[in-house]
Chain A
Amino acid sequence: MIYQGKQKIWSEYQKEIPADGWFYVRSCIRQSFFPASEKYFLAVCRDLLGKDIYESEHHTTCGGIAYHCDTIPQETAMTIVARQFALMKEAGYKNLVTSCITSFGNYTEILETWREFPELEARIRENLWKATRREFDKPEYVAHASDLVYKFRGEIAEKAVNRLVDVETGRPLRIVEHIGCHYSKMFPHKGIGGAEYPYVLSGMVESWGGEVIDYPERRHCCGFGFRQYLVKANRGYSVSNTHKKFESMEPYHPDAIITNCPGCPYFLDRWQYVISEQTGKTYGSGGYGIPVLTYEELAGLVLGYDPWDLGLQMHQVAVEPLLDKMGVKYDPDAKYLGLNKKDILKPGLPSVLKCC
């Protein structure tokens, strides 16, 4: 692998990301899957870095999942998105940042479609006015939240409490990165690093002391694939895709996986349990799985937030092997204590996959 060759490509796919003044739209599913990721994105940006990031309680789903599952037409998704833009205008913001990769892809695709077909944009303006009496301005800039974390990765590194380094040996941790399909595969120039050798997550890993693994099935789908999972009869495709990725990354002995998308960490995490039950195989050392984290969760660990405040107890794969390697301080007994020390109950243990 020629690292300079990747650097040359990365240099062609950089974005001028505004430093401040963002209207934030959340994901419709991430708060269920990874409940603290969005909270800590806001905490890092607002409280730690002092950025102006605004969110409105009136915003809704972007309609992306329904659109990609063919359950709503694109014009409906466009009108939903137009309403979000109207909320942004009413709040006085011009830059939109999305929590979700599919939302990012959806907003980008819609704006590009309107650029090609202005008559369609005019029709959506009319739809929105008839439905809500709202008007919108198109955002000056659309970013994914990982773009901002990438932009601030150096500042996060300066404030780091823990690094992506094995505290026992000094070895950089080996990290698999997975950007998700809708970040840059549709519009490579909208993603940092492009589509083939994306840099948005790799840049974070490098800045925080880790080493990125490039393995043969790096570009392959995580297994979600929307209808691969959402249509129950197709779920075999979903798990077989995930299985293919793990078989491919196994020889590199990854210490963790960092992800960009709502679906990817969920499926890369949960399917490790299913694969272990079906095949008896686990991919981490000592019977554990490979911990799968969102970029906000990994940033939170680097910044020294408590792993249980970050919601890492909600993962299927135990994160403790990673915490121990990084030297993160945590209380094992507090893992399943929720708000105000309420016992949220321990889950049942899998028969194969080792959990703490």
Chain B
Amino acid sequence: MDSRIILIIGGGVAGMEAARQLFLLGYQPVIVEKSDHLGGHVAGWHKLFPDMMSASSLIETMAGGLDGVTVYLKTTVATMNRLTSGFSVVLSNGTTLLCGAILMASGFRLFDASRKEEYGYGVYDHVITNSDLEHWFNTGEDDRIPENPSHIAFVHCVGSRDLKAGNPQCSKVCCMTAIKQAIEMKEKFPGSEVWCFYMDLRLFGKKYEDFYINAQRDHGVHFVRGRVSEVSEDIDGKVILKAEDTLAGHQVKLKADLLVLMAGMLCNEETPVLASMVRADVDSDGFMRSRDNIYRINESSRPGVFFAGACTGTKTVPETVAEARAAALDIHNYLVGNG
């Protein structure tokens, strides 16, 4: 059996970076990606905080490092079976692989914002998600975004930190994404008033706090600590928000031209199915369970099965890249018997 082949499930940032590192280490990584492009969610993003790096240029750079790596697009894993040494894998395109190790880099999916019915996504004309806004930044195409909005509102934590939605975990990136998008909207529409409704602001990373202060001081973005209780639409199609400002201690009613919902991150629906094929464990939050959450985050409870990126929990792009590199090294150590 050729143990130099490594199956990488998922062609997002984690899968691409792990493939590059494994290739440099002398292995034959095979990326299996269900969509028709590499880059995952980041490929649909416009700019990345805190440096406002172009997401497309990052993906382009990363894809440039994949020369020699086998990539199957629009392909899924049909079966995976453990052998005495390594794994036998059958793909949806009929390809059979004998692999030395498997890296799950299957990422996340966005919470379906229409499930928070009170916010009116899919019902009111001018309610969009963070992902929709990034798409509009890239393409300029979205009829829901008015030509010259004077009032724009962002609601944080849509479907994350929400027991009612069944997702208690923090999505980690939404606070910063909302601040980034608020600044971008202020830059596009300097005369507009932009409001962010938040529970807490979780700005843990390098330069994140600076970004937040910048949004307030230099761009005049308003931050209201309080959850939006309901959204409706008036006769002119404007969005009406009701919230409580828990710092000022009063109710807020705001008429906006555009409402952006910061949809949270959930585990991909197919991840538990894939996990069951190799008897890896799923955690209580629906994401994959690492051997521990401190020292062996890249390792599953089963030998030869590794994780990278958001399949184990919500992650930023730099965290994902770092995990992908670490996972490549873990796989190498496992295959050479150092694990």
Q: Does B91 contact A (CB under 8 A)?
A: no
Return the contact of B114 from the options A5, A214, A215 (Cβ within 8 A). A5
Q: Does A1 contact B (CB under 8 A)?
A: yes
- Cβ contacts B232-275/A at 8 Å (1 or 0 each): 11110100100000000000000000000000000000000000
Give the dominant DSSP class at A's interface: loop
- Given A2-B124, A197-B117, the answer on whether A252 and B235 have CB atoms closer than 8 Å is yes
Instruction: Give the residue name and chain of the B residue nearest to A218 (CB).
Output: B232
> B124 to chain A: which residues have CB within 8 Å?
1-2
B114 and A251 within 8 A (CB): no
Min CB distance, A314 to chain B, in Å?
32
Q: Does B122 contact A (CB under 8 A)?
A: yes
- Given A194-B117, A196-B118, the answer on whether A5 and B123 have CB atoms closer than 8 Å is yes
A216 and B122 within 8 A (CB): no
> B237 to chain A: which residues have CB within 8 Å?
1
Q: Does A219 contact B (CB under 8 A)?
A: yes
> B281 to chain A: which residues have CB within 8 Å?
none
- Cβ contacts B111-137/A at 8 Å (1 or 0 each): 000100110101111000000000000
B232 and A2 within 8 A (CB): no
> B240 to chain A: which residues have CB within 8 Å?
216
Q: Does A8 contact B (CB under 8 A)?
A: yes
Q: Does B230 contact A (CB under 8 A)?
A: yes
B118 and A214 within 8 A (CB): no
- Given A215-B235, A216-B240, A219-B230, the answer on whether A2 and B125 have CB atoms closer than 8 Å is yes
B125 and A1 within 8 A (CB): yes
B235 and A9 within 8 A (CB): no
Instruction: Give the residue name and chain of the B residue nearest to A4 (CB).
Output: B122
> A189 to chain B: which residues have CB within 8 Å?
none
- Cβ contacts A183-215/B at 8 Å (1 or 0 each): 000000000001111000000000000000011
- Cβ contacts B95-118/A at 8 Å (1 or 0 each): 000000000000000000010011
Min CB distance, B259 to chain A, in Å?
14
B114 and A216 within 8 A (CB): no
> A6 to chain B: which residues have CB within 8 Å?
123
Q: Which of B117, B230, B233, B237 has the largest number of chain A CB atoms within 10 A?
A: B117
Return the contact of B232 from the options A8, A216, A251 (Cβ within 8 A). A216
Min CB distance, A183 to chain B, in Å?
15
B233 and A8 within 8 A (CB): no
> A215 to chain B: which residues have CB within 8 Å?
232, 234-235
B235 and A251 within 8 A (CB): yes
A2 to B240, CA, bound (A): 16
> B122 to chain A: which residues have CB within 8 Å?
2, 5, 8
A287 to B319, CA, bound (A): 66
Min CB distance, B187 to chain A, in Å?
29
A6 to B237, CA, bound (A): 16
Instruction: Give the residue name and chain of the A residue nearest to B229 (CB).
Output: A219
> B117 to chain A: which residues have CB within 8 Å?
9, 194-197
> A112 to chain B: which residues have CB within 8 Å?
none
A196 to B117, CA, bound (A): 6
> A9 to chain B: which residues have CB within 8 Å?
114, 117, 123
A195 to B122, CA, bound (A): 16
Instruction: Give the residue name and chain of the A residue nearest to B122 (CB).
Output: A5
Q: Does A217 contact B (CB under 8 A)?
A: yes
B232 and A219 within 8 A (CB): yes
A8 to B120, CA, bound (A): 12
Min CB distance, B277 to chain A, in Å?
31
> A218 to chain B: which residues have CB within 8 Å?
232
B234 and A2 within 8 A (CB): no
> B123 to chain A: which residues have CB within 8 Å?
1-2, 5-6, 9, 197
- Given A6-B123, A194-B117, the answer on whether A214 and B233 have CB atoms closer than 8 Å is yes
- Cβ contacts A87-113/B at 8 Å (1 or 0 each): 000000000000000000000000000
> B230 to chain A: which residues have CB within 8 Å?
196, 219
Instruction: Give the residue name and chain of the B residue nearest to A252 (CB).
Output: B235
> A197 to chain B: which residues have CB within 8 Å?
117, 123
A168 to B123, CA, bound (A): 33
Min CB distance, B271 to chain A, in Å?
25
Instruction: Give the residue name and chain of the B residue nearest to A248 (CB).
Output: B234
> B234 to chain A: which residues have CB within 8 Å?
215-216, 251
A216 and B118 within 8 A (CB): no
> A8 to chain B: which residues have CB within 8 Å?
114, 122
A175 to B333, CA, bound (A): 70
Min CB distance, A295 to chain B, in Å?
23
Min CB distance, B239 to chain A, in Å?
10
Min CB distance, A227 to chain B, in Å?
20
Q: Which of B125, B232, B240 has the largest number of chain A CB atoms within 10 A?
A: B232
A215 to B117, CA, bound (A): 16
> B232 to chain A: which residues have CB within 8 Å?
214-219
> A195 to chain B: which residues have CB within 8 Å?
117
Could you write out 23 A-B pairs with CB less than 8 Å apart?
A1-B124, A1-B233, A5-B114, A5-B120, A5-B122, A6-B123, A8-B114, A8-B122, A9-B117, A196-B118, A196-B230, A197-B123, A214-B233, A215-B234, A215-B235, A216-B233, A216-B234, A216-B240, A218-B232, A219-B230, A219-B232, A251-B234, A252-B235
16 more CB-based (< 8 A) A-B contacts, given A2-B124, A5-B120, A252-B235: A1-B125, A1-B233, A1-B237, A2-B122, A2-B125, A5-B123, A8-B114, A9-B123, A194-B117, A196-B117, A196-B230, A215-B232, A215-B234, A215-B235, A216-B240, A251-B234
Closest 8 CB pairs of A and B: A5-B123, A5-B122, A196-B117, A216-B232, A216-B240, A251-B235, A216-B234, A196-B118
Please list the residues of chain A having a beta carbon within 8 angstroms of any beta carbon in chain B: 1-2, 5-6, 8-9, 194-197, 214-219, 251-252
Please list the residues of chain B having a beta carbon within 8 angstroms of any beta carbon in chain A: 114, 117-118, 120, 122-125, 230, 232-235, 237, 240
